[in-house]
Amino acid sequence: MATILNEYGTPYSNPQRYAHASEYDRRRGVTYPVKTEDIDKLISPWDSRRLRSLSSRLYTNVGVIKGAVDQKADYSVGEAFLPAYVGESDFADGKQIASFMRKVWYPNCNVKGQPFDWHKTLELASVAIDRDGDQFWIKIVGEDGFPRLQVVPAHRVGDGPDGSGRVSSGKFKDFKISDGVIVYKSGKPAAYRVLTGDLRISETFEDIEAANVIHIFNPDFAEQTRGIPAFSHALMDISACLASTEDERIRQQIISRLHLTVFNESGGPDLDDPMNSIQNPTTDSSFVMQNIPGGVVYMQAGSGEKMEQVKHDSPGDMWENFQDRMIRMSLAPCWPYSIWKGAGQGTDARAEIVKGRRFVLKRQRDLRRAALSAFSFAYSVFQKAGRVPLLDNPFAWSFSKPPRLSVDDGRESKMEVDEWRAGLRNTDEITEARGLTEEEFYTKRAHSVALRKVIARQVSQDVSESSGFEIEVEDREMAMLTANEMGNDTQDTSDQIIQPNQNDEDS
């Protein structure tokens, strides 16, 4: 028995599929073809270039996007990422190495020099993950034996002339290459192709082994080899917002130049009125009122005369709400919307702050992997040169984190003090988040206390000699840690035995 088929080859008698989204019927609306390929094939290198280009343009021109990306980088890095050795032995050597790296390597870790120090390099890496999808650090040892990092932007890594997906020559011949990443059969990167010439030609390149490259990105798919801009899901929405804003700006400029609309029978000004004159009568004539700046439009009326004032009643709430919706959808996977535009309620604001903390923690996790690899590379170079001691566990390093994103800084500071008193937080966790190691903090604190006591002693002696009175400025008078600070001569009677009064015995 023959079966009647529709135009798609599906029998009319087939029942509806259990999963409605699997139905392929254009009469039901927009349909999408089935594509079950790896993400590197679904998003081709050319598509990735277009995404990066548009994302970079929008980051440069849309304040909300740039602000969100920069805020995320600032909260993720700050003045932290200071090294701390967490090995089980060689504690003193670890502190010595941490101090050396901070003072010597941190300011000079980037081949470009200042202002591209350690913190700025990390901040730019965070921005690149959101804006471009990824970034690359190449480990370099200069002729002076100093280890440095060369930052390679995402658009400088690509297939080059080998657009067929296979390396045609060199050490990695016949290896698979995908958007500049040369991989083994297992998918592990073997090398990265850095384009060194004109990107429009892409014929000059250098294949650098993966051991010498730090690839910084946050994959969304298990098979992914390159990063995707964080706003790829909403680039069209942001583009529409930008285009709409440009059109609205032009419209506002036009309306701002208009002041009055006059309706009369002639559709023009009264030429007999001495206050009016014709400007440029030999060319395109336009009527201008001398006593009022330009911006009066004349319209012909059916009967009678009237005058209307031009009102600025747009773009209005509908336009504003649509813009906000587009921005909210754009920021949703990347950064809390209310940090840019407050929610207005404390509970909602705190909920959004918690989301922001999670975004920051995830970004710090990505940056920590890159930071540990770069730090270990630099340490190994310095150790081979004999400038720092050898550790039992050279990879046992951790990095401090900046203060948590907070809706109430006072409450967070009080919480830190309470946790410190309860023993749940160490001093170094508080000081390193503010850009100081624990040793530096105590050194500065000790110098401050010593200076305070020296000045108090000197002033006491000078005033005593000039006045003839014995004056002593006590340390508690210089800095009272509590409101009821007690003097040194006050005796503590809490552990003394109180002798009974003789009269009490008699009674």
Range from 45-54, 84-93, 374-383 carrying the lowest mean pLDDT: 84-93
Which pairing describes strands 134-141 and 213-217: parallel, antiparallel, or unpaired?
Answer: antiparallel
Residue 315 CA to residue 247 CA, distance in Å, equals: 11
CB 361 within 8 A of CB 353: no
Per-residue pLDDT tens over the stretch 281-333: 444 444 444 444 456 666 667 666 666 666 677 777 888 888 888 888 888 88
The predicted pLDDT at position 24 comes to 67
- Across the range 161-180, mean pLDDT stands at 90
Higher pLDDT, 419 or 497: 419
Strands annotated E in 250-318: 260-264, 276-279, 286-289, 296-300, 306-309
Averaged pLDDT for residues 398-420: 79
- Statement: residue 221 has pLDDT above 50: yes
Lowest mean pLDDT across 122-126, 317-321, 463-467: 317-321
* Span 402-412, average pLDDT: 74
Asked whether 49 and 154 are in contact (CB, 8 A), the reply is no
The whole-model pTM stands at 0.75
CA dist list (Å): 381 to 139, 145, 147, 212, 378: 11, 8, 7, 13, 5
Share of the chain above pLDDT 70, in %: 75
Asked if residue 479 has pLDDT above 50, the reply is yes
Specify the pLDDT at position 190. Answer: 96
Mean local confidence (pLDDT), 405-424:
79
pLDDT tens figures, 12-61:
555 566 676 666 666 666 777 788 888 988 998 999 999 999 999 999 99
> Is the pLDDT reported for residue 242 higher than 60?
yes
**Average pLDDT, integer, range 260-282:** 62
What average pLDDT does the chain have?
81
Interval 175-214: pLDDT, tens:
999 999 999 999 999 999 999 988 877 789 999 999 999 9
State percent of the chain over pLDDT 90: 39
CA 244 to chain CA mean position, Å? 26
Give the model's confidence band at 481: pLDDT under 50 very low, under 70 low, under 90 confident, else very high.
low
Total length of the chain: 507
Are the C-beta atoms of residues 55 and 132 closer than 8 Å to each other?
Answer: yes
Section 414-432 average pLDDT: 82
Q: Is 115 or 349 the better-scoring residue by pLDDT?
A: 115
b (16+ CB within 10 A) / e for 359-395: bbeebbebbbebbbbbbebbbbbbeeeeebeebeebe
